[in-house]
Amino acid sequence: MNIHALLITRFSQALSDMGITDAPVPVARSGRPEFGEYQFNGAMALAKQLKQKPRDIAEKILEHVKLDDVASKLEIAGPGFINIHLADEWLASQCQQALADTRSGIPAQNAQTIVVDYSSPNLAKEMHVGHLRTTIIGDAVVKLLEFLGHKVIRQNHMGDWGTQFGMLLAHLSDKLSANEVAETALSDLENFYREAKVRFDEEEGFADRAREYVVKLQSGDQQCAELWHLFIDVSISHSEEVYEKLNVSLTRKDIMGESAYNEDLPHVVAELKEKGIAVEDQGAQVVFIPELADKEGKPAVYIVQKSGGGYLYATTDLAAMRYRSGKLNADRTLILTDARQALHFKQTEIVGRKAGFMKPEQTYEHCPFGMMLGSDGKPFKTRSGGTVKLVELLDEAVERASKLLAERDTDLTADELKDVARKVGIGAVKYADLSKNRTTDYVFNWDTMLSFEGNTAPYLQYAYTRVQSLFRKAEVAPTALSADIVIEHAQEHALAVQLLQLEEQLSVVARDATPHVLCSYLYDLASHFMSFYEACPILKSDVPEATRNSRLALSALVAKELRLGLDLLGIETLEKM
């Protein structure tokens, strides 16, 4: 149920019955309960257009709008707002339907094909915190779009190509000659990279060999390709270890790394040249972008081929755009990276569109996010100033969660505790990230993210277990409940409205790739449930059976939505904690 969309339909109908077409139909949430739940705010603009008094227009709209089934009261307020008070019976029947429906009353939408480019670590090194946000936010967006019925194509645009592989392969080749096994040699990628870099900078002849390897790799030399595969393979398994710990849905078949576009790159450049978009400049192939000129009016320079003939990150992204548009038929392409790449994607879009690498109606949406900061407000680092390996961070999360849980009063067995600690620890890290508006930097703080109070994973996981324990006490399974939902109490009314606003919020997340909107919704839902639970007794002996069952049914819907929402966010729920 999308109340907002329903109201827009009804008001549009009313306006068209009045002979008014193509006017905007602004419906918003009301700021205060005494104004009802929603407000139609269009009368003021119409008044100007029709040269009538806004309140008169509002009166006329009230005569035409058909909301008898939905609203208990419509009233004109202030200069000409129409306040809409939703009817208890209608709310009850909608909740009843949502409870009975496997999709919680949220229909699948017209499917679009949506490419989501996320995670995309660089394989030369170990995954570090810089790839945490894209991986977590991307995976939530993907799950949500799929739930809404879209065809989602995950694209893990891994950095598996480029000149740094020359030095890495030369180093690996030496290790193998010394009878080392690849898995052992590459067990610590950071270390391996560092060793190779030192040799590149200091050891005589090594840099030349590294360059030779690059040439060999690019010309498709068999032996070199095998070495590269070996390297990539071990490095991918490092990422997979992280994905598994994070409970993220990416698999090998989602990998479409930079190397996959290797053969396309000369064609991309040739096409740009043919169309007169790329021109030679000091031996390089460049595109000048007047749309992004600097203060002096000098156009931005976008290099697609270096003077030595080498290709760049940008060239690969143009090839990727062409592939996603032409081969994958993506209606939308979402790319999740940190905000520092915003200019790159803006330029890529301008150049790609000029070249006709996308159809005009296909969208190219860079979804930037801010950085993860340490408590000192600086980029998140280890104590010694190194990059934080994701695997270690996640292990620490589980360890901290298990310490916290051990301090609580619990009747869980040791095995159960272990499972709870994992779900709470990992959930906390993910949720901390998901719940912040992605466009800003955020401060990573163990204590807040693991707290059982506030907008955190543990709070929501706990709220879910509260409902489960309610059903255990009632000795009935939520699915076995047969009850007529009746809404009488103000807290029941507020909870029901909240329960029916999920779809509205999901469509915002689908449009903007902003999972924090869903997090806020779930947090509000849990808070509404707690107030309802305080105000409306359920299992007390003097509560009539019909009331008890109705309240249990509302609680069951709360649990169902919490679970759905947390599932979409990639956060696991628990029966007990």
Q: Look at residue 286 and give its three-state secondary structure.
A: strand
Provide the CB-side half-sphere exposure for 157 (13 A, CA): 24
Select from 115-123, 146-154, 190-198, 209-217 the region that touches ligand ARG (CB under 6 A): 115-123
Whether 566 and 460 have beta carbons less than 8 Å apart is answered as: yes
Report the alpha-carbon distance of residue 470 to residue 556 in Å, rounded.
10
Q: What does DSSP say about strands 81-86 and 71-77: parallel, antiparallel, or unpaired? A: antiparallel
Does the protein bind ligand ARG through residue 550 (CB under 6 A)? no
DSSP 73-127: EEEEETTTEEEEEEPHHHHHHHHHHHHHSTTTT-------EEEEE----BTTS--
Among residues 104 and 135, whose Cβ is nearest to ligand ARG?
135
Residues in region 121-140 near ligand ARG by CB under 6 A: 121-122
Which residue type is seen at 555? S
DSSP 291-339: GG--TTSPPEEEEEE-TTS-B-HHHHHHHHHHHHHHTS--SEEEEEEEG
Does the protein bind ligand ARG through residue 120 (CB under 6 A)? yes
Is the CA virtual torsion 274, 279, 284, 287 positive or negative?
Answer: negative
Does the protein bind ligand ARG through residue 304 (CB under 6 A)? no
Among residues 122 and 456, whose Cβ is nearest to ligand ARG?
122
Report the alpha-carbon distance of residue 368 to residue 375 in Å, rounded.
22
Q: Look at residue 454 and give its three-state secondary structure.
A: coil
Among residues 127 and 494, whose Cβ is nearest to ligand ARG?
127
Among residues 94 and 337, whose Cβ is nearest to ligand ARG?
337
Between vectors from CA 559 to CA 557 and to CA 561, what angle results, nearest 5°?
70
Smallest separation, CB 370 to ligand ARG (Å): 15
Task: State which of residues 117, 126, 160, 503 lies at the interface with ligand ARG (CB under 6 A).
Answer: 117
Among residues 124 and 494, whose Cβ is nearest to ligand ARG?
124
Select from 117-125, 178-186, 263-271, 376-384 the region that touches ligand ARG (CB under 6 A): 117-125
Smallest separation, CB 155 to ligand ARG (Å): 8
Among residues 159 and 565, whose Cβ is nearest to ligand ARG?
159
Among residues 318 and 558, whose Cβ is nearest to ligand ARG?
318
Select from 116-124, 372-380, 432-440, 506-514 the region that touches ligand ARG (CB under 6 A): 116-124
CA-based R_g, the chain, Å: 28
482 has which bridge partners?
none
Among residues 121 and 425, whose Cβ is nearest to ligand ARG?
121
Let me know if 140 is exposed, middle or buried by CB neighbors in 10 A (0-12, 13-18, 19+): buried
Does the protein bind ligand ARG through residue 430 (CB under 6 A)? no
Select from 118-126, 172-180, 212-220, 432-440 the region that touches ligand ARG (CB under 6 A): 118-126
Report the alpha-carbon distance of residue 326 to residue 466 in Å, rounded.
50
Report the alpha-carbon distance of residue 442 to residue 373 in Å, rounded.
6
Smallest separation, CB 387 to ligand ARG (Å): 12
What residues have CB less than 8 Å from 142, skipping those under 6 apart? 116, 118, 152, 154, 249
Select from 114-122, 138-146, 181-189, 556-564 the region that touches ligand ARG (CB under 6 A): 114-122
Smallest separation, CB 345 to ligand ARG (Å): 8
Among residues 94 and 120, whose Cβ is nearest to ligand ARG?
120
Let me know if 221 is exposed, middle or buried by CB neighbors in 10 A (0-12, 13-18, 19+): middle
Whether 110 and 126 have beta carbons less than 8 Å apart is answered as: no
Does the protein bind ligand ARG through residue 157 (CB under 6 A)? yes
Task: State which of residues 317, 349, 503, 561 lies at the interface with ligand ARG (CB under 6 A).
Answer: 317
Smallest separation, CB 478 to ligand ARG (Å): 42
Task: State which of residues 54, 159, 425, 458 lies at the interface with ligand ARG (CB under 6 A).
Answer: 159
Select from 81-89, 120-128, 187-195, 487-495 the region that touches ligand ARG (CB under 6 A): 120-128
Select from 11-19, 119-127, 370-378, 543-551 the region that touches ligand ARG (CB under 6 A): 119-127
Among residues 36 and 121, whose Cβ is nearest to ligand ARG?
121
Smallest separation, CB 568 to ligand ARG (Å): 23
What residues have CB less than 8 Å from 537, skipping those under 6 apart? 543
Does the protein bind ligand ARG through residue 335 (CB under 6 A)? yes
Does the protein bind ligand ARG through residue 549 (CB under 6 A)? no
**Tell me, what DSSP letter sits at residue 455?**
S
Smallest separation, CB 453 to ligand ARG (Å): 35
Select from 21-29, 88-96, 113-121, 213-221 the region that touches ligand ARG (CB under 6 A): 113-121
Among residues 120 and 505, whose Cβ is nearest to ligand ARG?
120
Smallest separation, CB 321 to ligand ARG (Å): 9
Q: Both tokens of residue 411?
A: 């009747």
Q: Residue 383 phi/psi, 5° resolution?
A: -60, -35
Binding site residues, ligand ARG, CB under 6 A: 117, 120-122, 157, 159, 317, 320, 335, 337
